[in-house]
Amino acid sequence: MKKLFHPVTITLFVVTFIFLLPSILPSKAVKILTDEALRQRAISTNMLPTPKTYNELLKVVDNPQNLMTAKKIALGKELFNEKLMSKDKDIACASCHLLDKGGDDNLPTAIGFHGRANPFHLNSPTVLNAALAKAEFWNARAKDVEEQAGGPIQASFEMNMKPHEVVERLNAVSAYVSKFQEVFGATISFENVRKAIGAYERILLTHGAYDEFLEGDNSALSAKAKRGMTLFMTKGCKGCHTGMSVGGQSVQYFPLRRYLSDYMGMIFEPDLRIKESPFPFPNEGGFLGKDERLKFRVPILRNISRTAPYFHNGAVKELKEVVRIMSKYQLGNEFTPKQIDEVVAFLKTLDGEIVEYEIK
């Protein structure tokens, strides 16, 4: 290891000082917003409450290329829970998307056919409110829930089925043959399997305290949660986590910032070597996002407290640590422990129960 010379020491001192400036300088006090001002700030940026009636739901999530009907949704629900569509007939969509546990499987990485783990160590994003997103999967490779539904069925490490095998399996069940004919006016096809599942997933929206506050109930959020929401709205979080789904609307770089402490693993040898992970946590699986450029679909924050562990490879278990990481590496202004607690209090208000729509 080469000896560090004086100029290098000076440079490191200057760089360290620059990075420490935010913690040295006094931080601005968070602006206090009235309940109505806080509510209007959210609504004005399209952070709207989820619909409570089926007619309002249709205005928000219906797909012109796959119009929702009661029978199509019912068929999609059956297929979502159908294990015939997996190679060993032991896995369904519902196996990794547990609707009573946040819409995911609460595992660091998804486990599928013969106990195989996702080769990139990716965890399962929530299916709840996924229809509100503008793209699906961590790298945003699917445009909607209909397209997404076909992915896990075909993946060798998930359900491990080919489209023609799915069709053959379902054609062997006379009830499915009749239902596909009734719903689509056609024989069973893999495309219509995806469409039926997509139609069902479009009704999986949740509604909770956050929505009640947006609808005018000031008592729905505690004072602590309102302070957290104010931080969320004024410190930059809503720049990416926006829309009715509070996320899922864009693809963003992560991390946006690096710090000197991230490079303490540098080794001064003939060639400078840097520690392996580009993230502020181990990059088990080696996934680098869309086009391998550290670009990720922004996660949906609704029901976030129920969908641990976090980040694409489930490397972080605690929501508090997620908030700390995001404030530091995305916002460039690491929250204090008190601010982190307040933001977590707000995030917990994004939990909600699946709306039981009266489907017509």
3 state SS of 86: coil
> Other C-beta atoms within 10 Å of 154: how many?
15
State both tokens at 86: 């997996």
Question: What residues contact 215, with CB distance under 8 A and at least 6 apart?
Answer: 49
Catalytic residue among 82, 136, 146, 158: 158
- CA distances (Å), origin 360, targets 68, 80, 81: 10, 20, 22
CA separation for the pair 68, 77 (Å, rounded):
13
The four Cα atoms 285, 291, 295, 300 give a dihedral, to 10 degrees, of -80
Question: What residues contact 119, with CB distance under 8 A and at least 6 apart?
Answer: 157, 285
Q: Are 37 and 218 in contact (CB under 8 A)?
A: no
158 counts as catalytic: yes
Say what angle helices 145-154 and 190-201 make with each other, to 10 degrees: 120
> Other C-beta atoms within 10 Å of 145: how many?
26
State both tokens at 247: 């996320």
CA separation for the pair 184, 138 (Å, rounded):
31
> Other C-beta atoms within 10 Å of 119: how many?
13
Please name which of 334, 147, 343 lies closest in space to residue 246, comparing C-alpha atoms: 343
Cis peptide bond N-terminal to 309, omega within 30? yes
Which are the catalytic amino acids? Answer: 158
